[in-house]
Amino acid sequence: MIALEQARRTLDTLDLAQAAAVLERSLEAAKETTYAEFLADLLEAELTVRRSDP
């Protein structure tokens, strides 16, 4: 859990709040995907929120 919290804090520090918010759920979903797919999905979640904000 320490690595998860560190990753969440780092995402927050980088102003990737949505990625931080969905990190744990994304990790659970990524158990059957590649790391690249996991990372792409995580970043896509961040982009979707940023594009929807005016």
Q: Tell me the whole-structure pTM to 2 decimals.
A: 0.76
Angstrom distance (rounded) from CA 41 to CA 9: 19
Answer whether residue 29 shows pLDDT above 90: no
Answer whether residue 53 shows pLDDT above 90: no
- Residue 23 binned pLDDT confidence (cut-offs 50, 70, 90): very high
**How would you label 33-50 residue by residue, b for 16+ Cβ within 10 Å and e otherwise?**
eeeeeeeeebeebbeeee
Angstrom distance (rounded) from CA 14 to CA 12: 5
CA 46 to chain centre: 7
For residue 20, the enclosing domain spans 2-52
Q: Domain total for the chain?
A: 1
Q: What is the pLDDT, as a whole number, of residue 31?
A: 85
Answer whether residue 54 shows pLDDT above 80: no
Angstrom distance (rounded) from CA 46 to CA 15: 10
DSSP 33: S
